[in-house]
Amino acid sequence: MTQHSINLGIMLNIAVCIKEIPEEIRVNKKTYTLIREGIKGVINPCDKNAIELSVTLKEKHGGKVTLISMGPQNVEKTLIHGLAMGADQAVFICDKAFAGADTLATAFTLVTAIKKLGHFQLILCGKASADSGTQHIGPQIANFLGITQVTYAVGLAVENNKVRVKRQLMDEYETVEVEFPVLISVVKGMNEPRIPSYVDIYEASKKDFFRWSINDLGLKEDQVGLTGSPTKISKILPPETIRQCKMLQGTLEEICNDLAQILKT
Amino acid sequence: MENNNQYRGVWVFVEHKGSQIEKCSLELLSLGRNLASELQVDLSTLVIGNLMGRLSEELMYYGVDVVYVVENPVLERYTTSPYHKITCDLIKEYRPEIVLFSSTPIGMDLAPRVACELKTGLVAHCVDLKIDKGKRQLLQICPYGDYMATMITTVKPQMVTVQPGVTPLPPRGEFKQGQTVQIEREIDIGNIKIIEVVKPEKADMGKIEESDVIIAIGRGVKNMSLAEKLAECLGGILGATQPIVDAGLLPESRMIGQTGKAVRPKVYIACGISGAGQHIVGMKNSGLIVAINTDEKAPIFKVADYGIIGDVSKVIPALIAALNR
Ligand SMILES: Cc1cc2nc3c(=O)[nH]c(=O)nc-3n(C[C@H](O)[C@H](O)[C@H](O)COP(=O)(O)OP(=O)(O)OC[C@H]3O[C@@H](n4cnc5c(N)ncnc54)[C@H](O)[C@@H]3O)c2cc1C
Ligand SMILES: Cc1cc2nc3c(=O)[nH]c(=O)nc-3n(C[C@H](O)[C@H](O)[C@H](O)COP(=O)(O)OP(=O)(O)OC[C@H]3O[C@@H](n4cnc5c(N)ncnc54)[C@H](O)[C@@H]3O)c2cc1C
């Protein structure tokens, strides 16, 4: 109990889940996974907003930010970027056994790491990843932890130990008030993620960085990865031809006259 | 190990607003009816809300066998905690083999949490559902990168969220059928409090679904004002692919596809759009589809009625000229 916050005394312990995604999305037709070789990995866009939010809250209320990411290859650079934005430590969960995880197995693995790290008042994640985009992970983490969830956050303020969140829904905004602990998933564009300097990035490489395997998490193979996943891909097919397309032929003028006729009728 | 065979029946989670059934839920009824008939089981709906009497009655015109209703003034508006608890409890009690939700803010808030509690899987943003009769297995069809995937869930219940706008609405029957089952529950509203709900002033949101003509632009369009002129000329509205919206060229309400909206205008003109699976799910049910693209192999041509291989910056002005002739 050395470092009390001078502001409010809340000292937020925040975990932020971040995913690295391939910059370009292509499917390997044999393994049904996304191709990663030769494609640059980038941080999932709304996860940057989640990191920005966590760092802003820490600056205002005091506390500590831990980044957690599970991924198939070295996402060190992505995590370092998050550390350079102002997070304090990073945990990278990586093991062959985690390959092929569906969302339930992914959330379960992330939650095991979260529990190992201790108690968090606030857990942040993005609304959806830009590569698979299920939107499942947030609510699943909240359920595994048995805590409240608030999805689609576009604004957030902490007051008197409560959190006020503005949610963006289909055609309206809803503002709710919740108590800690809570999981919040954020929408891209909710804030302006800071761009770290070279000095920040250099300093970040000195921060605590943990790499955890299945053994470090104390899990068994049948609880994670493909074997721990209730959903399976049975097959993938290229999009079917749904219509017979008539290609309009001729000079540009002829083509456009033909199309104008079709559109007028 | 629980016996998967004890699970029977198809359930639909019904969303509603102002005591009206949401369109997306009616779409689920049409999918659910087919699945239930193939499996020879009941189609049931779960309705949670306040004063749901008229709405439950209305559901009985859509081939529903059982309408389960949980009513309470505190359930007037959706919040995660009580809806989650009720849904989980009833699924545990009645053990349906299939549960359908919509890919809406409510469905996507609720379904993953319910699936997690029930330790089962969830397949997101499905565009079609089929039954493998031999295995009594639900085939869950959803976009997968630039492909379409068929997914299965090896645990019961099999749960999915369905993309709104891609399934035709079911016919409303002439007579009511089925029964309503009123369920009494103790309700714990949890520690979430709704402070306010506001509608943005811009009525822009929502408009694109109502337009008869959509000029959709993708990364192949460099000059927005050309596309705007074409839209004006045809009395239509601009729509866009995700990269265009991400670049801030059009508001999010104009995005068409899995993340955006599903539309079915009378005329859809795709300009400089490659035709990724996530885009196609949002527009393939349009009336007449025209695609303009420099690449004759672009997948968009597979869903178009008419195609023009050419540069949009040349084709659009020529088309405007032809329309004005
Ligand atoms: C095209 C495609 C479709 C898929 N469809 C399904 C499906 O329908 N059902 C299913 O169960 N699985 C599905 N999967 C598998 C699923 O994508 C993986 O389990 C994935 O690891 C997590 O899901 P997501 O990226 O969709 O998460 P989302 O729920 O969309 O991600 C939301 C947030 O959760 C956090 N997060 C997500 N993944 C991680 C991670 N690895 N580490 C740290 N934080 C993370 C991030 O903050 C992210 O912004 C699909 C995969 C692909 C490639
Ligand atoms: C989880 C997830 C959800 C997604 N949701 C959506 C969604 O809701 N909606 C959506 O649209 N996308 C969505 N996407 C993105 C989608 O996969 C594609 O990346 C996107 O639709 C491509 O947009 P585009 O066609 O504009 O761009 P591109 O794929 O880059 O295509 C541009 C096309 O323009 C053509 N072209 C180039 N120059 C010209 C010219 N001068 N004249 C004519 N043609 C030209 C090219 O030949 C090419 O075919 C999603 C992706 C994921 C992973």
CATH number for the domain spanning A90: value is 3.40.50.620
pLDDT above 90 as % of chain B: 82
pLDDT, position B277: 86
**What is the number of the ligand 2 atom nearest to the C-alpha of B256?**
9
Q: Does B26 touch chain A (CB under 8 A)?
A: no
Please state the ipTM of this predicted complex. 0.91
State how many domains chain A has.
1
Instruction: Enter the tokens of residue B257.
Output: 């596809």
Residue A98 lies in a domain: yes
Per residue in B26-53, pLDDT (tens digit) is 999 999 999 999 999 999 999 999 999 9
What is the maximum span of chain B, computed from C-alpha positions, in angstroms? Answer: 72
Looking at residue A3, what is its pLDDT? 42
A43 CA from centroid of ligand 1 (Å): 13
User: Is it the case that residue B92 has pLDDT exceeding 60?
Assistant: yes
Residues 38-97 of B with CB under 8 A from A: 79-81, 84
Q: Is the CB of A110 under 6 A from ligand 1?
A: yes
Amino acid B200: pLDDT: 74
The domain in which residue A137 lies consists of: 3-238
Residue B3 pLDDT > 70, yes or no?
Answer: no
Q: Residue A64: in which H helix or E strand, if any?
A: strand A63-70
- Pocket lining: A101 vs ligand 1, CB cutoff 6 Å: yes
Query: What are A146-205's pLDDT values in tens digits?
Result: 999 999 999 999 988 899 999 999 889 999 999 999 999 999 889 999 999 999 999 999
* C-alpha span between B96 and B84 (Å, rounded): 16
Mean pLDDT confidence for A59-71:
96
pLDDT in tens, A101-149: 999 999 999 999 999 999 999 999 999 999 889 999 999 999 999 999 9
pLDDT interval class at B206 (50, 70, 90):
very low
Q: Which residues of chain B from 266 to 305 reach within 8 Å of chain A, CB to CB? A: 267, 275, 277, 280, 284, 288-291, 296, 299, 301-305
In this complex, do A144 and B234 lie within 8 Å of one another by their Cβ atoms?
no
Count interface pairs A-B at CB distance under 8 A: 229
Cα–Cα distance measured from residue B308 to residue A255, given in angstroms and rounded to the nearest whole number:
8
* CA neighbours closer than 13 Å in the CB half-sphere of residue B121: 22
A262 within a domain of the structure (yes/no): no
pLDDT at residue number A199: 95
Report CA-CA distances (Å) from A175 to A161, A182, A252: 17, 15, 53
- Predicted pLDDT at A26: 78
Length of chain B: 325
- Is residue A244 a part of any domain in this protein? no
Q: Render B108-144 in DSSP notation, one character per residue.
A: HHHHHHHHHHTT---EEEESEEEEETTTTEEEEEEEE
Which residues in chain B are closer than 8 Å to A232, comparing Cβ atoms? 151-154
* Distance from chain centroid for Cα A130: 9
Q: Is the pLDDT of residue B5 over 80?
A: no
Q: Are strands B237-240 and B288-293 parallel, antiparallel or unpaired?
A: unpaired
DSSP A149: E
Percent of chain B with pLDDT over 70: 97
Q: What confidence tens digit (pLDDT) does each residue in B303-314 have? A: 999 999 999 999
In this prediction, residue B1 has a pLDDT band, given cuts at 50, 70 and 90, of: very low
Per-residue pLDDT band at B158 (split at 50, 70, 90): very high
Task: Give, using CA atoms, the residue closest to atom 27 of ligand 2.
Answer: B219
Ligand 2 atom nearest residue A129's Cα: 1
The answer to whether B46 and B87 are in contact (CB under 8 A) is yes
Q: Can you give the pLDDT at residue B18? A: 82
Position B300 pLDDT exceeds 50? yes
CA distances from A116 to A93, A122, A138, A218, B276 (A): 12, 15, 18, 10, 40
With beta carbons less than 8 A apart as the criterion, state whether B229 and B276 touch. Answer: no
User: In the CATH scheme, what is the homologous superfamily, with its name and number, of domain B208-323?
Assistant: TPP-binding domain (3.40.50.1220)
CA–CA separation, B215 vs B288, rounded Å? 12
- State the distance from the centre of ligand 1 to the C-alpha of B198, rounded, in angstroms: 31
Ligand 2 mutation pick, B148, B219, B226, B244, max ligand atoms within 8 A of CB:
B219
The highest-level CATH class for domain B4-182 is alpha beta
pLDDT confidence bin for B201, thresholds 50/70/90? low
Domain coordinates of chain B in residue numbers? 4-182, 208-323
Task: Examine the pLDDT at A6 and tell me if it is beyond 50.
Answer: no
Contact state of B112 with A179 under an 8 Å Cβ cutoff: no
Instruction: Please list every residue in chain A whose beta carbon sits closer than 8 Å to the beta carbon of residue B291.
Output: 245
Please compute the mean of the pLDDT values over residues B219-230 and round it to a whole number: 93
Whether ligand 2 lies within 6 angstroms of the CB of B33 is answered as: no
Mind listing the pLDDT tens digit for each residue in B261-288?
A: 999 999 999 999 999 888 998 999 899 9
Q: pLDDT at residue B202 above 70?
A: no
Instruction: Tell me how crowded residue A91 is: count the other CB atoms within 10 A of its CB.
Output: 22
Task: Check pLDDT > 50 for residue A207.
Answer: yes
Report residue A43 as tokens. 């941080």
Of the ranges A29-38, B55-64, B104-113, B212-221, which one carries the lowest mean pLDDT score?
Answer: A29-38
The pLDDT, as a whole number, for residue A171 is 81
Residue type, B173: G
Averaged over A225-229, what is the pLDDT?
Answer: 95
Residue A1, pLDDT above cutoff 50: no
Nearest atom (ligand 2) to Cα of B240: 11
Higher pLDDT, A27 or B37: B37
Euclidean distance between CA atoms B116 and A137, whole angstroms: 10
For ligand 2, whether the C-beta of B307 sits within 6 Å is no
Window 107-126 of B: residues touching A by CB (8 A cutoff) are 108-110, 112-113, 115-117, 119-125
pLDDT at residue B2 is higher than 70: no
Nearest residue on chain A to B212, alpha-carbon basis: A263
pTM of the model: 0.89
3-state secondary structure of A174: strand
Phi, psi of B108 (to 5 degrees): -80, -15
